[in-house]
Structure 1
Amino acid sequence: MIRVAQVMGYMDGGGVEQVVMNYYRHVDRATAQFDLLVCEGSGMVPRDEVEGLGGRVLMVPGYGNLPRFMRALERLFRQERWPIVHSHVNALSVFPLCAAKRAGVLVRIAHSHSTSGRGEPVRNAMKAALRPLSNVYPTYRMACSRYAGEWLFGGGVNFEVLYNAIDLARFAFDAGVRVRVRAELGLMEGQLAVLHVGRFTEQKNHRFLIEAFAKASRRRPDAILLLAGEGDSRPSIERRVSELGLADRVKFLGQRSDVERLYSAADTFVLPSLYEGLPVVSVEAQASGLPCLLSDQITREVDVTGNVRFLPIVDSDLWADVLCTVRSSGRVGVCNGDFADYDIVRAGKRLTERYEELFERVRV
């Protein structure tokens, strides 16, 4: 059996953590097991599930103190002797993979899950400084999309695209669930439910979404906005909703473990992010048949069903106009064959095989 160290950074309920856990549930765990290296201070660590699957969670200092972070990782790498280290912290993977190389780890995977966008000058400056080093320490490269891979590694560098795969059966539309969840949320028959799933961070652009929805709601008094997720910016968004007089039109649903039920209940899915690698939530929404309105800063690779519109995030009036055209009966039929690259059963098998292949290359 191959034990793989998965460098997670902070686990706070974001999409990358969901993707890694999806893969962990569906790899051949008799062949590959995961040990998650998680930064102290993380708010949502699935320790019980990880241990139930046969893995471990090991806490390390946060990367805010880089020397401590690096020392702790190098010590762990030497002590545990993992044959493979798989890093999921994007441009910051420079640091754990450097520590892995110092410790003699022969297979070092850098995985690009994101890109960059306007509105985060400090973070973007850091990413710009680290990107030129992104090819120094990995022996293998992966990315959630062609776009994310080229952003981190460059257009002339080989990397494997491993899409953010999902359990298609879990996210299939369920008419009975739709009726029950809409009743739980107090939604009337035919009332328009607009859904967003994502952490409350600047990247997800909630403030823009609220402004667009406020404009749409003047013309669609039946519209309700459902916001699933938690994060540091939630209080400021709640205040803005109150200022706009939308407290009875916007529902804050918190962190949810049943997002598949929300997709069945909703009529459209929105994601006006400043940037993304390949947002798994948009794949989930499409698997449920939802029409999607996405930021034009998101790669077109994510359009599986053809029922996706990419809109500029400089024009909230346009988003409002499009929201006003959505019908509560606008869901489309889904062909699972269209989602072949996003089928977690196939993708889990593929990742297992890749770990085996990389392990055999360096096995002495």
Structure 2
Amino acid sequence: MIRILQVVNNMHRAGLETMLMNYYRNIDRDKIQFDFLTHRPEKSDYDEEIVSLGGNVYYAPRLYPQNYPAYFKWMKNFWKEHPEYRIVHSHIDAMSYLPLLTAKEAGIPVRIAHSHNTSIDRDFKYLLKQYFRSYLTKVANYYMACGEEAGRFLFGNKKFKILPNAIEAEKFIFSQEVRMRKRDELGLNGKFVIGHVGRFSYQKNQKFLIKIFEQIHLKRQNAILILVGVGEKEKEIRKLVKAKNLNKYVLFLGKRNDVNELYQAMDVFVMPSFFEGIPVVGIEAQFADLPCVFSDKVPKEVKFNNNISFISLMASAEKWASQIVGKEYVSRGINKMEIKNSRYNIKTAFSILENYYFHFQT
């Protein structure tokens, strides 16, 4: 059996983490087993399932600059205690430099850096991340990305392999029955429902989304915005909603385990992100045959359904609103086979990763 060490920040229910679990559930675990190295002290949403599937979860120190001496010491001991790992696969973009540097020093032969984005969050580690990004190819020796743009962003001219951000398609296929049940449960009957799923963060640009919804509500008095997720910008967005007197029309649903059903209840899915790799939520929404409006910063590679529109972030909130309202009555559920055959269906995509790992054993 091959044991692969997957390096992440945590294993909460977010896009990258959910994608990894989709692959983990579908690979042949008699031949390939995943273990996870996280960088948070607390347990994550998927930890129990990982253990139930035969995996291990390790908790490394957080990747704060003040922790680096302790981190390198911890990682040095980790590699000594776990000689079973010959393949390490890191998913933390530019920050992958740190764990892969320790893996290189420990003599780990296969060190995979995986790009999941096309830009870098402007947080307090922004300059450090830019530095690590420039040296990442010095410590990794194999490269993977969710899409072409994400690969070029992190690896430049290096050759990389694309792994689709595949999902469990059957869970998301449109169902009128689920739609009616969920809308009734949430009190959405007779409403024009705009949906958004994503961490409250600079990247996801929810501040502009509220401005867009303000314009939508002027056009459709029955409009409701549902926001699924948590994050550091949530308080700021709640204040903005209150300041615009939209409290009655914006639902903050928090962290959910029924997102697949929430897509059914929506009428249009909106993603005004400043940057993305290949967004998992954008793929999920398309499997639900949900009309989508994405910013022009979302790579066009994500599109496999004809109900998708891209609009510039330079366009006004009113123009965005008009585009969204124009999708109010789009029919759903008519392209089931076409959707199931997408490259983003985990039932076919999982073999890509299996074969990739097997390659290193030959």
Q: Would you say same fold, with TM above 0.5?
A: yes
Instruction: Give the direction of change, closer, same or farther, for the CA distance of 1:341–1:48 in structure 2 (3 Å limit).
Output: same
- d(CA) in 2 for partners of 1:136 and 1:277? 22
1:198–1:228 contact (8 Å) kept in structure 2: yes
1:302-321 map, 5 Å? 302-314=302-314, 315-321=316-322
Q: Name which of 118, 134, 137 aligns with 1:135.
A: 137
Match in the other structure for 1:4: 4
Q: Specify the alignment match of 1:74 in structure 2.
A: 76
Counterpart of 2:278?
Answer: 278
Per-residue CA deviation, residues 115-172 of structure 1 (Å, 9 max, x unaligned), is 216x827554333322221211112110001110011001x22100001001111110
Pair 359,200 (structure 1): closer, same or farther in 2 beyond 3 Å: same
For residues 88-103 of structure 1, the aligned pairs below 5 Å read 88-103=91-106
Change (3 A) 1:42 1:218: farther
Question: 2:52 aligns to what?
Answer: 52
Contact 2:13 2:46 in 1 (8 A): no
After alignment, is 165-174 or 41-50 more displaced?
41-50
Shift of 1:17: 1.1
SS of residue paired to 1:61: coil
CA contact (8 A) 1:267 1:330 kept: no
Where 1:342 maps in the other structure, the secondary structure is coil
- Determine the C-alpha separation between the residues in 1 that align with 2:42 and 2:335: 36
How far off its partner does 1:335 sit? 4.4
CA-to-aligned-CA distance 1:253-294 (integer Å, 9 cap, x gap): 111111110111111111111111110100110011011111
For residue 169 of structure 2, give the secondary structure of its aligned residue in structure 1. Answer: coil
CA contact (8 A) 1:10 1:41 kept: no
d(CA) in 1 for partners of 2:338, 2:33 = 29
Return the alpha-carbon distance in structure 1 between the equivalents of residues 227 and 137 of structure 2.
37
Superposition deviation, residue 358 in structure 1: 1.4
Q: Could you tell me how far apart the structure 1 residues matched to 2:223 and 2:252 are?
A: 15
SS in 1 for 2:342: helix
Return the alpha-carbon distance in structure 2 between the equivalents of residues 162 and 14 of structure 1: 17
Secondary structure class of the residue paired with 2:28: coil
> Is it true that 1:112 corresponds to 2:115 in the alignment?
yes
Measure how far apart 1:73 and its partner are.
2.2
2:245 corresponds in structure 1 to: 245
Residue in structure 1 matched with residue 187 of structure 2 by the alignment: 186
SS in 1 for 2:253: strand
| Mean CA deviation greater in 70-79 or 254-263 | 70-79
Scaled by the length of structure 2, what TM-score is found? 0.94
Q: Which residue of 2 aligns with 1:125?
A: 127
Partner of 1:36: helix, strand, or coil? strand
Asked if the contact 2:165–2:280 (Cα under 8 Å) also holds between the matched residues in 1, the reply is yes
Residue aligning to 2:328: 327
* Other-structure match for 2:176: 175
The answer to which of 29-38 and 10-19 deviates more is 10-19
Q: Distance in 1 between matches of 2:68 and 2:231?
A: 24
Determine the C-alpha separation between the residues in 2 that align with 1:152 and 1:133: 10
**Corresponding residue pairs, total:** 357
257-266 or 315-324, which deviates more? 315-324
Stretch of structure 1 that moved more, 245-254 or 42-51: 42-51
Unaligned runs of at least 5 residues, structure 1: none
8 A contact 1:78–1:104 mirrored in 2: no
Aligned partners of 2:293, 2:173: CA distance in 1, in Å? 19
The offset of 1:324, in angstroms, is: 2.3
Deviation, structure 1 residue 329:
4.1
Matched-pair contact (CA < 8 Å) for 1:83–1:359: no
% identical equivalent positions: 38
